[in-house]
Amino acid sequence: MNNPAFTLKEFKEIFESLYPSLCLFANTYVKDISVAKDLVQDVFIKIWESNVKLKEKTLTKAYLYTSVKNKCIDYLKSKRVRVINKQVEVEGLDVLESEAHFNREVILIEASQIIHDAINSLPQKYSQVVLLSMKNLTNKEIAEVLSLNINTVKAHKKIAYQKLRPLLKGYYYLFMLIFIEM
């Protein structure tokens, strides 16, 4: 089955780069990682099958995050956890459906990913300094903890921030400004 929007290879690349984050995101709704994984896989399958017309050959994060959210809400509704007075109600569904939940979890997951990638991109001697400084330790305290000269700490920090700059700048351009029609 062919999809005119992407080649299988392109689709695989999108999957590989976004699948873990989307699973984490789905998990904030369904609180069960194996269910979350199934739902995210379903979203990818549906996108492939539905011949989504894309103006660009890239899927937006916005589209994927929104689809995953909708899928999770549908799933929770289908579970139909019911209360005795016959009203169909899934506990806390209104909270999960809110924009605040969506924004908070997307930001947390995306920021975690950036920080994780940033730290991992640094050689250990620099990442140690950054990690401790993230915990609000002063340069002096970091120097004590790592048994380093305070000037070394300052120098490491400077180099680390220089190395991080390009990473933090261009991060999202891959996924931006692409419009999808269903």
Partner 1 sequence: MMHFNKILELAKKMSRAILYSENIESSEFLNEKDKEEIKNKLKQNSSYWKERDTILRKINVAEDWKKVEQKILIPKSKTKYLFRYAAAAILILGLSSLFFIFQNKLIKQPVEITAGTDKATLILGNGEKVELTQASRYVGVNASMVNNQLEYNNAFQANKLNAGVNVLNIPRGGQFVVQLSDGTKVWLNSESQLKYPVKFNSGEPRTVELLYGEAYFDVTPSSQHNGDHFKVVTKNQKVEVLGTEFNVRAYRNEKNIFTSLIEGSVKISKDKITKFLTPGFQSVVSLNNSVIEVKKIDVNNEAAWKKGLFIFEKEPLKEMMIELSRWYDVEIVFINKEKEKFVFSGSLNREDNIKDLLENLEKTKEVDFEIRGKKIYIK
For 77, other C-beta atoms within 10 Å of its C-beta total 14
Q: How far is the CB of 152 from partner 1 (least distance, A)?
A: 18
In the DSSP assignment, the letter for residue 160 is H
| Residues sharing a CB contact under 8 Å with residue 51, sequence separation 6 or more, in sequence order | 3, 4, 5
Whole-angstrom distance, CA of residue 150 vs CA of residue 28: 41
Single out the residue of 141, 145, 155, 175 in contact with partner 1 (rule: CB under 8 A): 175
Q: Among 53, 55, 57, 104, which residue sits at the site for partner 1 (rule: CB under 8 A)?
A: 104
Length of the chain: 182
Q: Which of residues 135-164 bind partner 1 (CB under 8 A)?
A: 135-136, 161, 164
H helices within the chain, ranges in order?
8-30, 33-49, 61-79, 93-97, 99-121, 124-134, 139-145, 150-169
Interface with partner 1 in residues 118-137 (CB under 8 A): 118-119, 130, 133-136
Total binding residues for partner 1 by CB under 8 A? 67
Q: Does residue 88 touch partner 1 according to CB under 8 A? A: yes
The answer to whether the CB of 43 falls within 8 A of the CB of 75 is: no
Contacting residues toward partner 1, per CB under 8 A = 1, 3, 8, 11-12, 15-16, 19-20, 23-24, 27, 32-35, 37-38, 41-42, 44-45, 48-49, 60-62, 65-66, 74-75, 78-84, 86, 88, 100, 103-104, 106-108, 110-112, 114-115, 118-119, 130, 133-136, 161, 164, 168, 171-172, 175-177, 179
